[in-house]
Amino acid sequence: MTDTSSCASYAPENRALSADEARAHLLAQVAPVAGREFVPLRSALGRILAADIVAPHDVPAHDNSAMDGYAVRFDSLAGDGETRLQVVGSAFAGNAFSGLVGKGQAVRIMTGAVLPAGADTVVVQEVTRVEDGAVLVPAGQKKGQNTRRAGEDLAHGAVALAAGKRVGPAELGLIASLGIAEVAVRRRLRVAFFSTGDELASIGTPLAPGQIYDSNRYTLHGLLTRLGADLIDLGVVPDVPEALEATLREAAGVADAIITTGGVSVGEADFVREILARLGEVGFWKLNIKPGRPMAFGKIGDAWLFGLPGNPVAVMVSYTQFALDALLRLSGLDPLPERPLLTVTAANAIRKQPGRREYLRGTVAAVDGRWQVKTTGNQGSGVLRSMSEANCFVVLPEDCAGVQAGDRVEVQLFEGV
């Protein structure tokens, strides 16, 4: 693990970190967890490679045709006018022509078929004419055209996929093309999570006066399942310091990372930061953003702790903008140096005071051929519906003093392809 002695340098000044400072600090602290396992290829989907995938043979394994047509010797073709070649056989993918293509001869060939011995060029069938067992080839062909050479995609011994790559559908196919049935992947990250607050009730139980149902654990369950982590749900912990400390100790003993929601602001019953400082180290606990200003980061034993706010939208903002990148690095995957942002037109005015970076929920859509974004109504940090209705964050920088309809703004899409 990376040395965490620098964590404490952020805590004494009680300064709210900018979004960029917080993200840089998180990524500087964490390092991938140790441990690997071998899994069948199909079970590797979504996992992080623990070792390079090396090509055990050339890909493709043989010189082959890239098109349906005729395999010929280039030196058989005339410089001007048509060339008449005798068709001496056929070659199909998986069923090669066994003879030798001599001068003045051609072999009918299909895409993917092994290039016959003696042939070095493929003429596509669309430009040819067949006549009495011969093929007539027009002038203007180029030597080596429409062929794929052995090792053109990957040479024997080359690294096909580097360690640290997440295995997606394309990677599954690439590994399968090498004939590899089992791969080494990093072990799954173990993440413990729980909610704090006397006001929280579990679903399926009646609400007492002043209570609300705990939604944050279900949001985190969805986010962490997408991450591919092994989950340890520790439920709801009341606002009792002894109970919170016991749960944090339990979580630190079984997990690589701990995520809490609630208990990190400055209220009388917010104990996470105080207990974190006693049990381990506090890296920071205030961010200069909205929503999500209170967020604790630190370490208890060998487990990293991410203390997220209690409001549902602030949970998702804090997780996606900060905790996620650290968890990806812990999993063995390097996050992007910067979050991709797209510039689109604001469909409505947005009020904002300079000073903090804000993440508003918005919907991007094409209107009259131009991409526009409109905010999803009430932007309160407790309005989880605003996340459900949105497909992006509208990211307004610290110095922004408001947006008028028609202004250009930056958005961060929730989903990729």
CATH number reported for the structural domain that contains residue 45 in this entry: 3.90.105.10
Kindly state whether residues 86 and 210 are assigned to the same domain.
no
Q: Does a structural domain hold residue 375?
A: yes
Q: What is the pLDDT of residue 269?
A: 42
Give the length of the chain: 417
Single out the residue in 284, 301, 331 at which a domain terminates. 331
Kindly state whether residues 221 and 156 are assigned to the same domain.
no
Kindly state whether residues 301 and 199 are assigned to the same domain.
yes
Q: Does a structural domain hold residue 337?
A: no
Kindly state whether residues 366 and 400 are assigned to the same domain.
yes
Name the residue range of residue 280's domain: 5-35+188-331
Q: Does a structural domain hold residue 108?
A: yes
Cα(226)–Cα(119) distance, rounded to whole angstroms? 51
Kindly state whether residues 216 and 303 are assigned to the same domain.
yes
Nearest 5°: phi and psi at 176? -60, -35
Kindly state whether residues 52 and 31 are assigned to the same domain.
no
Cα(386)–Cα(194) distance, rounded to whole angstroms? 23
Number of independent structural domains in the chain = 4
Q: Does a structural domain hold residue 126?
A: yes
Regions of the chain where pLDDT drops below 70: 1-14, 264-270, 416-417
Q: Does a structural domain hold residue 402?
A: yes
Q: Does a structural domain hold residue 73?
A: yes
Q: Does a structural domain hold residue 336?
A: no
| CB crowding 17-54: b at 16 or more within 10 Å, else e | bebeebbebbbebbebbeeeeeeebeebeebbbbeebe
Single out the residue in 148, 173, 202 at which a domain terminates. 148
Kindly state whether residues 226 and 312 are assigned to the same domain.
yes
Q: Does a structural domain hold residue 69?
A: yes
Which CB contacts under 8 angstroms, 24+ apart, belong to 214-220?
215/312, 215/384, 216/261, 216/262, 216/308, 216/310, 216/312, 216/315, 217/193, 217/261, 219/312, 219/315, 219/316, 219/384, 220/193, 220/259, 220/261, 220/315, 220/319
Kindly state whether residues 302 and 254 are assigned to the same domain.
yes
Residue tagged 């996620």 (tokens): 324
Kindly state whether residues 254 and 293 are assigned to the same domain.
yes
Single out the residue in 164, 186, 208 at which a domain terminates. 186
Do the beta carbons of residue 71 and residue 125 sit within 8 Å?
no
Kindly state whether residues 324 and 195 are assigned to the same domain.
yes
Kindly state whether residues 361 and 315 are assigned to the same domain.
no
Kindly state whether residues 127 and 199 are assigned to the same domain.
no
| CB crowding 78-92: b at 16 or more within 10 Å, else e | eeeeebbbeebeebe
Cα dihedral 152, 77, 83, 65, rounded to 10, equals: -10
CATH assignment at residue 76: 2.170.190.11
Burial class of residue 104 (count of CB atoms within 10 Å of its CB; 0-12, 13-18, 19+): middle
